[in-house]
Structure 1
Amino acid sequence: MNPLVAPEAAAHPLAGLTALSVNLNKVALLRNTRHLGIPSVLRAAQLVLEAGAQGITVHPRPDERHIRGSDVHELAAMLREQWPQVEYNIEGNPLQNLMDFVRAVRPHQATFVPDSESQFTSDHGWNLPADADTLRPLIAECHTLGVRVSLFMDPLPEAMAHARALGADRVELYTETWASSFGTSRQAEVGAAFEATAKAALAAGLGVNAGHDLNRDNLAEFLRLAPGTAEVSIGHALIADALELGYAETVRAYLTCIHQASQST
């Protein structure tokens, strides 16, 4: 059993605070436009971890449009040797290439995402209980390997008990609708759905993660709605901010958002 998988309370060095996992896909996307190896995915991981991030996330798609298989393995080796306390989260569709990486690397967490190979970006969660029979044996295999499983889910409170019944350890709430409604007349309505879903997940015995389009503007308010959130995975906005502010200042800014949310709940 991977020692960082359980107990849940040990997943973050500051008990009660949401962990920040940095998704490095966009660093790899920029690198892949040339053949120079820059910017370096490994160097980006080092810099965000030195600045205080608690996790690294990658989503290696079959076409290797950004994160490549070699990145997955090189990051695993670096984290194992230099940052053993850091959580490694690999996202992807378990019906495509994700399980090959899980078997080879045994990350701390595998996040199951139902995206197609041609999909531009992740844009919906699993359909439960319809997908239950497909997911159940894959979740069980991850557990045999000592890997925590998080299911990428839409904000549907009624689906949380189904996720837990499958054996999932956590759900990652797909937060695009929160981001797109933030600052509009729909914010309160959309926020209420996420609040209810987070509460239902916790009541069912699930941990709660969140990700997709979270940024410095909307993160703190989201965490006030869902104060039990264990981890946020942030990539696009964080890397975009880092182009202007640098990795270290950007990570500190996101950690400040997390601290602000914890102080107001």
Structure 2
Amino acid sequence: MTKLSVNINKIATLRNARGGNRPNVVQAAKDCERFGAQGITVHPRPDERHIRYQDVHDLKEVVTTEFNIEGNPTPEFLKLVKEVKPHQVTLVPDAPDAITSNAGWDTIRFKEYLTDVIADLRESGIRTSIFVDPVEEMIEGAALVKTDRVELYTESYATGYHSNRETAIAPYVKAALLAKQLGLGLNAGHDLDLDNLRYLKDNLAGLDEVSIGHALVCDALYLGLENTIQQYLHQLK
């Protein structure tokens, strides 16, 4: 079964909008696990507009499933993750002012840089994943920098799903097959929801994990968090 990692950034956004500690991000992570999530994802940004660096330290103390930290590998980010030592670090090339991640790595252009970062994280015993577009050249480049996994950036799939899902999924099928041929683990994330998740899972061979936050938290407003997580898990069975 493909694992579900719940991204709790939006819960932190809600907390920060009012100040104080409501909703409690740490408790939310514990509840997600209690309701069946097999991982917790956070994406701390330099301005700490949602997940704060202190949240990451606090979550490390309570997360009992897989802890995945996403982010651009700035010196501050690398210092944080080497202190916390999560199970997985997902490297994302987002600008500091980006609203959300909007592109994968150019693994050819940044080969030397990514190789050094990944080697550094491996020395700390941390599994790495690289956020990439479904482009075979970028998958090949990811293997060359010796990452453990790739995370396919699924926005274009989600955008095209309702108009022509066969066309939308096609480049992801090729990318997934190549990743597995090259010995890479396979994750996916961005704009996945209850409508498009099952089709993605059914068509990507060897999909290890999906990371879902925005849509899942939005669904939870109407369906409740426990029910929502169960519905996402059902799509992955």
TM-score, scaled relative to structure 2: 0.98
Count matched residues.
Answer: 237
DSSP-derived class of the 2:108 partner: coil
Runs of 4+ in 1 over 3 A off after TM superposition: none
Structure 2 distance, partners of 1:116, 1:158, is 23
- Whether 1:123 aligns to 2:102 is yes
**Contact 1:150–1:169 (CA<8 Å) still a contact in 2?**
yes
| Structure 2 residue corresponding to 1:73, chosen from 52, 57, 66 | 57
Structure 2 distance, partners of 1:115, 1:42, is 25
User: What residue identity is the alignment partner of 1:136?
Assistant: T
Residue in 2 that maps onto 1:175: 154
DSSP-derived class of the 1:210 partner: strand
**How big is each residue's C-alpha offset from its partner over 1:186-228, in whole Å with a ceiling of 9 and x where there is no partner?**
x322210000000010101000000000000000000111031
- Whether 1:44 aligns to 2:35 is no
User: What residue identity is the alignment partner of 1:223?
Assistant: K
Structure 2 distance, partners of 1:193, 1:127, is 17
**How big is each residue's C-alpha offset from its partner over 1:11-60, in whole Å with a ceiling of 9 and x where there is no partner?**
xxxxxx10000000000000001123101111111111011110000000
- Please tell me the root mean square deviation across aligned C-alpha atoms, in Å: 0.9
Kindly state the Cα deviation for residue 73 of structure 1 after the two structures are TM-superposed.
Answer: 0.4
TM-score, scaled relative to structure 1: 0.88
Residue in 2 that maps onto 1:9: none
Residue in 2 that maps onto 1:143: 122
| Structure 2 residue corresponding to 1:225, chosen from 191, 203, 219 | 203
DSSP-derived class of the 1:91 partner: strand
Unaligned runs of 5+ in 2: none
Structure 2 distance, partners of 1:209, 1:169, is 11
Residue in 2 that maps onto 1:200: 178
**Contact 2:177–2:205 (CA<8 Å) still a contact in 1?**
no
**How big is each residue's C-alpha offset from its partner over 1:125-144, in whole Å with a ceiling of 9 and x where there is no partner?**
00021111111111001100
Structure 2 distance, partners of 1:207, 1:168, is 9
Residue in 2 that maps onto 1:249: 227
Structure 1 distance, partners of 2:90, 2:14, is 24
Kindly state the Cα deviation for residue 96 of structure 1 after the two structures are TM-superposed.
Answer: 5.3
Kindly state the Cα deviation for residue 239 of structure 1 after the two structures are TM-superposed.
Answer: 0.6
User: What residue identity is the alignment partner of 2:112?
Assistant: D
Structure 1 distance, partners of 2:107, 2:119, is 17
Unaligned runs of 5+ in 1: 1-16, 260-265
**Contact 1:201–1:208 (CA<8 Å) still a contact in 2?**
yes
Structure 1 distance, partners of 2:143, 2:41, is 23
Residue in 1 that maps onto 2:136: 157
**Contact 1:157–1:198 (CA<8 Å) still a contact in 2?**
no
**Contact 2:130–2:151 (CA<8 Å) still a contact in 1?**
yes
User: What residue identity is the alignment partner of 1:191?
Assistant: I
Kindly state the Cα deviation for residue 70 of structure 1 after the two structures are TM-superposed.
Answer: 0.9
DSSP-derived class of the 1:180 partner: helix
Indicate the percent of aligned positions where both proteins have the same amino acid: 46
